[in-house]
Chains A and B, each alone.
Chain A
Amino acid sequence: MEFTPYQIIVPIGSILMVLYAWNLVMRQKKTIWEGILWTLFWGAIAYVAFQPNSLQHLSAITGIKKNETAATFTAIVILFFIVFYMIIRIEELGQRLTKVVREKALKDAGIGEEK
């Protein structure tokens, strides 16, 4: 059985992402549940790369048959994630400001900063 470079690179990348996720779980940065979700997600990507024909089942379920429709749908999903990431970044800035406000409030109340 011959493999295309795509069928080799994508599963290797997926394995690395899964290992990274479980490394975060071990360091208590992610929960076990989140590790499982990541494993399922990257496992699915690796499977599709390995078995491209499996997408035909997805086509039967979603009704998306034309390539143009699939491309439009994919673009909308990508845009959604880009917007979501921007929201997250803005929230992180908000969290930094909140941290400053919280530290000032504790200091003003005569409660020392936690070390």
Chain B
Amino acid sequence: MRTCAIIPAFNEATHIGAVIRGARQYVDEVIVVADGSTDDTAEVARQAGARVVVHPENCGAGAATMTGLEAARALAFDIAVTVDADGQHATADIPKLIAPLSQGADLVIANRFGGRKVSIPRIRILFNAIGNAVTLLATGIWLPDTQCGFKAFGPRALRQVDLKMSGFEFCTEIIREAARFRWKIVSVPSRVVYSEYTLAKGQSFANGMKTAAKILLRSFLR
């Protein structure tokens, strides 16, 4: 089965090269979506061997991910793995993430909290718990790590997924898509690297709360 990695990226010129080189070992092609980046993200990604799609404006992580998924569909890939561009995900875990797809899973989500002991900042643990609770209320599905960007889409999920939300809400929207189309979801433990850089790239608490309120109200009023 043909597999690609999708890396949505916004101003990640300093880290994206290493992420692409890491992912290329395990997939047929790497697709980078440079989401209105004002630095050399697109150029660095091309030099590292990725196919680059450039958003002329910054549209958000959800929009960039959906562009990558559409590119994967148009290029006739069977499996798509989404990876964050900041280097927090262990690309060596891609085979582990893909494996359940051959056993009937439609969507595999990495669990950053289920692997080997790593020092995860408490604020991240709190954010994740809130994200999981909001996702449970909005979709009725409980997962240990709903907000992780390291995911593998099987053929059915890749064919059906249609994300509308542009921002960070897309993680919960993917779980909603799973509920809507009744995909089989599997959670796989994966290592995560938290550095000052990756932490600075995360959402603020206020933004997280706003996102949570929007998801809950939308899911009810939809």
Which residues of A approach B to under 8 Å, CB–CB? 28-34, 36-38, 41, 84-85, 88, 94-95, 98, 101-102, 104-106, 108-109, 111-114
The answer to the question of B122 belonging to the interface, with a C-beta cut-off of 8 Å to chain A, is no
CB-CB < 8 A to B71: which residues of A?
106, 109, 111
Q: Are A101 and B70 in contact (CB under 8 A)?
A: no
- B interface residues, tally (CB under 8 Å): 35
Stretch at the interface among B92-100, B110-118, B175-183, B185-193: B175-183
* Contacts A106-B53, A109-B51, A111-B53; A98 near B222 (Cβ below 8 A): no
Q: Are A108 and B54 in contact (CB under 8 A)?
A: yes
Interface Cβ pair total, 8 Å cutoff: 79
CB-CB < 8 A to A108: which residues of B?
53-54
B37: min CB distance to chain A, Å: 12
A interface: dominant SS: helix
Q: Are B179 and A114 in contact (CB under 8 A)?
A: no
CB-CB < 8 A to B60: which residues of A?
98
B141: min CB distance to chain A, Å: 8
In the docked arrangement, what's the CA distance between A33 and B176, Å?
10
Q: Which B residue sits closest to A113, measured CB to CB?
A: B74
Q: Are A34 and B217 in contact (CB under 8 A)?
A: no
Contact partner of A102 (CB less than 8 A), chosen from B59, B75, B181, is B59
Q: Are A84 and B217 in contact (CB under 8 A)?
A: yes
* Contacts A94-B166, A114-B73; A109 near B54 (Cβ below 8 A): yes
CB-CB < 8 A to A94: which residues of B?
166
Q: Are B56 and A109 in contact (CB under 8 A)?
A: no
CB-CB < 8 A to B13: which residues of A?
none
* Contacts A34-B219, A37-B220, A98-B59; A105 near B179 (Cβ below 8 A): no
Q: Are B222 and A106 in contact (CB under 8 A)?
A: no
In the docked arrangement, what's the CA distance between A29 and B51, Å?
33
* Contacts A34-B222, A98-B59, A98-B166; A106 near B52 (Cβ below 8 A): no
Q: Which B residue sits closest to A25, measured CB to CB?
A: B180
Contact partner of B139 (CB less than 8 A), chosen from A31, A95, A111, A112, is A31
In the docked arrangement, what's the CA distance between A112 and B56, Å?
18
CB-CB < 8 A to B52: which residues of A?
109
In the docked arrangement, what's the CA distance between A112 and B70, Å?
10
Q: Which B residue sits closest to A28, measured CB to CB?
A: B180
Interface centre among B56, B60, B63 (most CB of A within 10 A): B63
* Contacts A31-B176, A33-B139, A98-B63; A111 near B74 (Cβ below 8 A): yes
* Contacts A31-B176, A106-B70; A101 near B56 (Cβ below 8 A): yes
Interface centre among A29, A32, A36, A41 (most CB of B within 10 A): A32
* Contacts A32-B140, A95-B166, A105-B33; A114 near B63 (Cβ below 8 A): no
Q: Are A102 and B56 in contact (CB under 8 A)?
A: no
CB-CB < 8 A to B139: which residues of A?
31, 33
Contact partner of A95 (CB less than 8 A), chosen from B51, B140, B164, B222, is B164
In the docked arrangement, what's the CA distance between A94 and B138, Å?
22
Interface centre among A31, A88, A114 (most CB of B within 10 A): A31
In the docked arrangement, what's the CA distance between A31 and B176, Å?
7
The answer to the question of B80 belonging to the interface, with a C-beta cut-off of 8 Å to chain A, is no
